[in-house]
Every structure is written in C-alpha cells, then in structure tokens.
Amino acid sequence: MITKRLASLVIGLMIELGAGGHAVMMQRLDGTQLGSIEVAKDKAWSAVAFRRPTKAFEDAVSQGGANLRLLRLSGASPIEGGIPLMADGKIIGSIGVSGGTAPQDGQVAKAGVDALK
C-alpha cells in the first residue's frame, strides 16, 4: 500500500517483488520514461537475489580496482534504489525505484520499506 508520504516521494516508478523475484506491485507516475520500468525491475531483482541493497554494489564499484568485476556480475545492479524486504531475518521480497537520481531513488525505496513496517 502506498502511503501519503511515500506517494509524495515517488518521482518515477516503484516495483515490489516477492521472495521469488516476481512482480507483485508497480506504481508509475505519468510521464516517467519507459526505461525506468526495466531499471526499477533490475534494482528490485538485484536486491532480492543478492540479499542486499543495490547501494552496496554501487559503493563497491565506486572504489574501483578489483571491485570493478562486480559490473560483470549477472543480475547485480550497481545503482542505488533497490532494497530487500526482510521479516524475521528472512527475505520476503524487495523494492526497486527508478526515475530520479540514484540517491533520490534510494530515499524513495527506503520510504517504501519503512511504510511496510
């Protein structure tokens, strides 16, 4: 469910995936570029598949060196905006957001996670 605060933050597109990686919800604002659909899906998939926020990959890649190998890790999105959903220490799904800058997408994804608590 999209709360009023979360709706005020959504700047593009938000996708929620279940634990199996299948979409259970998508919210897209009018005028959001179509490319954001796949970007948000990729972020959500990365968060659920690797059990970590996509910000972790972004931070690692930004350090360069051997971490640049992560760019070839199939399914790993190195752009902030994907966060796993946890319950009782287990992954139950994820949220992926696209349409703004990476930090904005991360803020909206975090608000989505917080709204579900």
For the residues 31-40, what does the mean pLDDT come to?
88
Which band of pLDDT confidence, cut at 50, 70 and 90, is reported for residue 70? Answer: very high
C-beta separation of 99 from 12 below 8 A: yes
C-beta separation of 55 from 108 below 8 A: no
Check residue 3 and report its DSSP letter. Answer: -
Which residues make Cβ contacts (< 8 Å) with residue 15, sequence separation at least 6?
23, 25, 26, 37, 40, 41, 44, 95, 96, 97
Residue in the block written with tokens 């259970």: 24
Task: Give the DSSP H or E segment for 83.
Answer: strand 82-87
In the predicted structure, residue 63 carries a pLDDT above the cut 90 = yes
Secondary structure class of 15 (helix, strand, coil): strand
| Structural domains of the chain, with CATH | 4-115 (3.30.450.150)
Least confident of 10-14, 27-31, 58-62, 97-101: 10-14
